[in-house]
Amino acid sequence: MTHQAFVQSLRQIVGAANVLDSDVHLQLYQYDAYLEERRPDAVVFVHSTEEVSRVVKVCHDFGVPFVPRGGGTNLSGGTIPFKGGVVLEMIRMNRLLEVDVPNLRARVQPGMFNLELGNALAPLGYQYLPDPASQKAATLGGNVAENSGGPHCFKYGVTTNHVMGLTVVLSDGEIVTVGGEAPDQPGYDLTGVFVGSEGTFGVCTEVVVRIVRQAEGVKTMLAIYDSIERGSETVSAIVAAGMVPATLEMMDQLVIQAVEKSLSCGLPLDCATVLIIEVDGLKDDLEAQTEAIERLCLAHGAREVRVAKNDAERALLWAGRRGAFGAVARLTPSYLVCDGTVPRTALPEVLRKVAEVGEKYDLQIPNVFHAGDGNLHPLILFDWRDAEQKERVMKAGMEILALCVQLGGTISGEHGVGLEKMDAMRLVLSEADIRSQLKVKQAFDPSDLANPGKIFPAPLEVAHVQ
């Protein structure tokens, strides 16, 4: 079948203006926030579940792969059309369909930005808890595909803990609705398995999320350290004292300096690290919790602890944290974000070793991370025009992931495997583990058209077995 016939079929479904296939347009859809690029054959703007189903059905009939794309903020190459085909541009499916307060649910389309949902719920006194740092530009469909985390996950869990149901289009065009309004639906937990499947099971076209009351009170504080090791020790000390803060975030000196250059949040430029700690809940003990945490920070070597006095000060602290990745982009033309996770108590050790990796490969590696979750984000700085440097970066990145695994952790906490970490999968998974995951892939997508070529490493050479 010719490209023209295929594109003509798509245009019949969504209208001529909603199918892009000129060079300039395709170039705009060949990259996301990861480092690889691959050009699609067509971009299709979709507007409804039925439209997605019809478009996917045409892809199926023509044997063309498809990749849904939300905000394109993915850090592991999840939205890059690795095998060409169609990019489904989901961004116009961005409506909040229903807020059902008595049943504590909201029904949303996948192209809605995470922050938009938060903004829509706030006036009602409700919130949707997962809050990836990129929430301004990351869509809920993307959050579902990647099982996104965010600063508040330590206390409240990740996307999967808050998604109650989904409408998805499978690769043959079948529309499936799973989970939803009532809990504990009989049968396998397809919702739970779909969340985090990185677009490889099908296209999510509607999400039912759990909403909760906003907290009565919140306190945000900044603990400033001259030693990164003491800062990360404090994280474990707070948890050991029986407290469950809403967030425990860390940024090191290089990140702080970058943030201050771009945002001026009032962070000290000369410290080794800061911890952003937030407690929320009922007002009655927030003061006491704040004081207890302040004492712990000081006892573990903090040189100063500042408590945000009002919403404006709090917002400023968060602007710094949420703007960290963007700010670091000012330092060098490119960076590779690692996303390894370790048991919390291994943080001081892993940070020391990450620094050693930086020295070994002669690379600058600032760190910003979800310390409470043990989820680090070393940002390896480089210039993509320098091929030799890029090679060192990739080796350093792989070494950091291997370190995390050695310390009892894993290769990705929240950014997904995508194209980036396919080769690192064997650091964690056995061949039997990989086979079992592929069985699920085949059950959802027998024709392998949904975001193909991702997540799984190439099969081992058969020669090994001889």
- Residue of the chain from 297, 414, 420, 450 that contacts another protein (CB under 8 A): 414
- Residue of the chain from 53, 143, 205, 341 that contacts another protein (CB under 8 A): 341
- Residue of the chain from 209, 410, 419, 449 that contacts another protein (CB under 8 A): 410
Kindly state the smallest distance separating residue 13's Cβ from another protein, in Å.
22
Rounded to whole angstroms, the Cα distance separating 171 from 192 reads 19
Site membership for another protein, residue 105 (CB under 8 A) = yes
Site membership for another protein, residue 178 (CB under 8 A) = yes
Rounded to whole angstroms, the Cα distance separating 20 from 42 reads 6
Site for another protein in 425-444 (CB under 8 A): 425, 428-430, 432-437, 439-444
Kindly state the smallest distance separating residue 442's Cβ from another protein, in Å.
6
Kindly state the smallest distance separating residue 264's Cβ from another protein, in Å.
31
If the CB atoms of residues 175 and 272 are measured against another protein, the closer one turns out to be 175
Site membership for another protein, residue 20 (CB under 8 A) = no
- Residue of the chain from 411, 419, 449, 450 that contacts another protein (CB under 8 A): 411
x/- track of binding to another protein for residues 137-176 (CB under 8 A)? ---------xx-x---xx--xx-xx--------x---xxx
Site membership for another protein, residue 218 (CB under 8 A) = no
Kindly state the smallest distance separating residue 299's Cβ from another protein, in Å.
17
Kindly state the smallest distance separating residue 363's Cβ from another protein, in Å.
24
Kindly state the smallest distance separating residue 221's Cβ from another protein, in Å.
18
Site for another protein in 44-103 (CB under 8 A): 100, 102-103
Among the listed ranges 82-90, 249-257, 310-318, 370-378, the one in contact with another protein (CB under 8 A) is: 370-378
Site membership for another protein, residue 123 (CB under 8 A) = no
Site for another protein in 279-298 (CB under 8 A): 281-282, 284-285, 288-289
- Residue of the chain from 15, 63, 333, 343 that contacts another protein (CB under 8 A): 343
Among the listed ranges 106-114, 132-140, 379-387, 423-431, the one in contact with another protein (CB under 8 A) is: 423-431
Kindly state the smallest distance separating residue 284's Cβ from another protein, in Å.
4
Count of residues that interact with another protein, criterion CB under 8 A: 91
Neighbour count for residue 266 (Cβ, 10 Å): 12
Kindly state the smallest distance separating residue 430's Cβ from another protein, in Å.
7
SS (H, E, C) the chain: CCHHHHHHHHHHHHCHHHEECCHHHHHHCCCCCCCCCCCCCEEEECCCHHHHHHHHHHHHHHCCCEEEECCCCCCCCCCCCCCCCEEEECCCCCCEEEEECCCCEEEECCCCEHHHHHHHHHHHCEECCCCCCCCCCCEHHHHHHHCCCCCCHHHHCCHHHCEEEEEEECCCCCEEEEECCCCCCCCCCHHHHHCCCCCCCCEEEEEEEECEECCCEEEEEEEEECCHHHHHHHHHHHHHCCCCCCEEEEEEHHHHHHHHHHHCCCCCCCCCEEEEEEEEECHHHHHHHHHHHHHHHHHCCEEEEEECCCHHHHHHHHHHHHCHHHHHCCCCCEEEECCCECCHHHHHHHHHHHHHHHHHCCCCCCEEEEHHHCECCEEEEECCCCHHHHHHHHHHHHHHHHHHHHCCCECCCCCCCCCCCHHHHHHHCCHHHHHHHHHHHHHHCCCCCECCCCCCCCCCCHHHHC
Kindly state the smallest distance separating residue 403's Cβ from another protein, in Å.
13
Site for another protein in 241-260 (CB under 8 A): 242-244
Site membership for another protein, residue 369 (CB under 8 A) = no
